[in-house]
Structure 1
Amino acid sequence: MYDHCVGLGYHCESTYQIRRVTGVARAHFFDWLDLDFESVVEAVAEDFRPVLRPGLVEPFDEGRCALDRGSDIRFYHEFHPAAGAGTPLTQTDIDAQLPRVRAKFAALAGRWRTLAGSSARVLYVHHDAWDELAAADLRRLRAVIAAQHPGHRFDLHWLRRTAPPDAALLGPGITWGTVAAAPGRWEGDDAAWDAALTPVLALPHDPPGPGSAPPHRPSTKEPL
């Protein structure tokens, strides 16, 4: 019943599984990033301005990734060591590649704004991989998206490893599910993701407001 399904982290598992389940591979801003919940909230609230500011991106995790100190987002796939695979990423590498990476994420931020400003209905999925969040956090995220994009037609789906103890406090427009970890498999458990995500994409939602277009399921042929 949604036009698009967009991931909001936490890391690569959610991107892989959302693309596998929906069959849609078009990139969105938070795809393939390693980031905490607060980074998502801040990026949306600040219209992505804190992300990848010059002078704030540096090698992290023994050179395995680049850490953006302005947004606390970890980029494991966008920067590449000039010395070759298996060598540490250096500050020189990051500085040389930053304009290209900034241009890519500026385009993805524009894609986010275009989608949020359209008549499409969107399901945003946040994977709480360590069961760290509470219902109040999801309500806050929904409020931030709604405030930043008035009129946007969207819901949130909160995925955890275990059922949330405060699910009754989520409020309208937020659902939850569970996806068990798959030890030794970064992609996660396919069957668990199928069970948690596919039924939600097919669920009917509240009746559309006056003049709203009828909702429908995601399509691999639909342009963004």
Structure 2
Amino acid sequence: MCVGLGYHCETTYQLRRITGNGSAHFFDWLDLELESVVEAIADDFAHVLRPGQVEPFSDGLCALDRGSDIRFFHDFRPADGRPLTQDDIDRQLDSVRAKFTALAERWRALAASPAKVLYVHHDAFDESTARDLNRLRQVIATAHPGQRSSLLWLRRTPPADPALLSTGITWGTVAESPGRWEGDDAQWDEAFSAVPLSRGPRP
């Protein structure tokens, strides 16, 4: 099983294309930094989408959850194509919360299962260090001590400190594809060519 951990929609699109598995996971189609992923897992998603914390952001292009610093571009929608408003968010918050409560339950069920999981974090702006990824892996291991998992760190350029990565973390690179939010298919295929766990039947 292959599960994406952000940074944004490129990850979700590519993992579904590569694995042929369209099952939804908690961090799919979200826009968020690594710290938001770490905090959400460490807190068992308790601080995500709390009432009174979600507001329009980026001139109404998305909703920002101030409690988690996650940006929701696809789950809150204005009725007529105008910029997203606070009223839009307030009307839809319960249904969006219900969706992510169900996805959190799916996350926990997978973590408690015997399945081996490859977590993939796309460091789309080369912001993180090996120590940051080590912390992410430790948080996952602490939250789900019985789970068999590994972590793939994908960057635009090679990391400066790969020797510091903990056991169970590998890295690769996927170049940006200008003008294509989905990313470069060939680059992602190459990055996953040595990761047999990620591959599944193509649609």
> Is residue 193 from structure 1 mapped to residue 191 from structure 2 by the alignment?
no
- Contact kept, 8 Å, 2:2 with 2:197, in 1: the verdict is no
> Is residue 174 from structure 1 mapped to residue 165 from structure 2 by the alignment?
no
- Contact kept, 8 Å, 2:17 with 2:202, in 1: the verdict is no
Shift of residue 39, structure 1, vs aligned partner: 0.3
Distance 1:202 1:70, change over 3 A: closer
> Unpaired runs of 5+ in structure 1?
204-216
Q: Cα deviation per residue 1:27-81 (whole Å; 9 max; x = unaligned)?
A: 0000000001100000000000010000000000000100000000000000010
> Is residue 72 from structure 1 mapped to residue 72 from structure 2 by the alignment?
no
**Amino acid aligned to 1:130:** F
> Is residue 35 from structure 1 mapped to residue 35 from structure 2 by the alignment?
no
- Contact kept, 8 Å, 1:81 with 1:89, in 2: the verdict is yes
The answer for the alignment partner of 1:208 in structure 2 is none
- Contact kept, 8 Å, 2:4 with 2:27, in 1: the verdict is yes
Distance 1:124 1:57, change over 3 A: same
Distance in 1, Cα, partners of 2:29 & 2:197: 25
TM score, norm. by length of structure 1? 0.88
For the aligned residues, what is the CA RMSD? Answer: 1.4
Q: What SS class does the counterpart of residue 199 from structure 1 fall into?
A: coil
Shift of residue 133, structure 1, vs aligned partner: 0.5
Distance 1:220 1:21, change over 3 A: closer
**Amino acid aligned to 1:65:** C
The answer for the alignment partner of 1:19 in structure 2 is 16
Where does structure 1 differ by over 4 angstroms across 4 or more consecutive aligned residues?
Answer: 217-221
**Amino acid aligned to 2:49:** L
TM score, norm. by length of structure 2? 0.97
The answer for the alignment partner of 1:211 in structure 2 is none
Distance in 2, Cα, partners of 1:189 & 1:199: 17
- Contact kept, 8 Å, 1:5 with 1:218, in 2: the verdict is no
Shift of residue 201, structure 1, vs aligned partner: 2.8
The answer for the alignment partner of 2:85 in structure 1 is 90
Shift of residue 220, structure 1, vs aligned partner: 7.6
How many pairs were matched up?
Answer: 203
> Is residue 57 from structure 1 mapped to residue 58 from structure 2 by the alignment?
no
The answer for the alignment partner of 1:165 in structure 2 is 160
Distance in 2, Cα, partners of 1:218 & 1:122: 13
Identical residues among aligned pairs (%): 68
Q: What SS class does the counterpart of residue 194 from structure 2 fall into?
A: helix
The answer for the alignment partner of 1:212 in structure 2 is none
> Unpaired runs of 5+ in structure 2?
none
**Amino acid aligned to 1:171:** S
- Contact kept, 8 Å, 2:6 with 2:122, in 1: the verdict is yes
Distance 1:28 1:202, change over 3 A: closer
**Amino acid aligned to 2:64:** L
Shift of residue 198, structure 1, vs aligned partner: 3.2
Distance in 1, Cα, partners of 2:17 & 2:138: 29
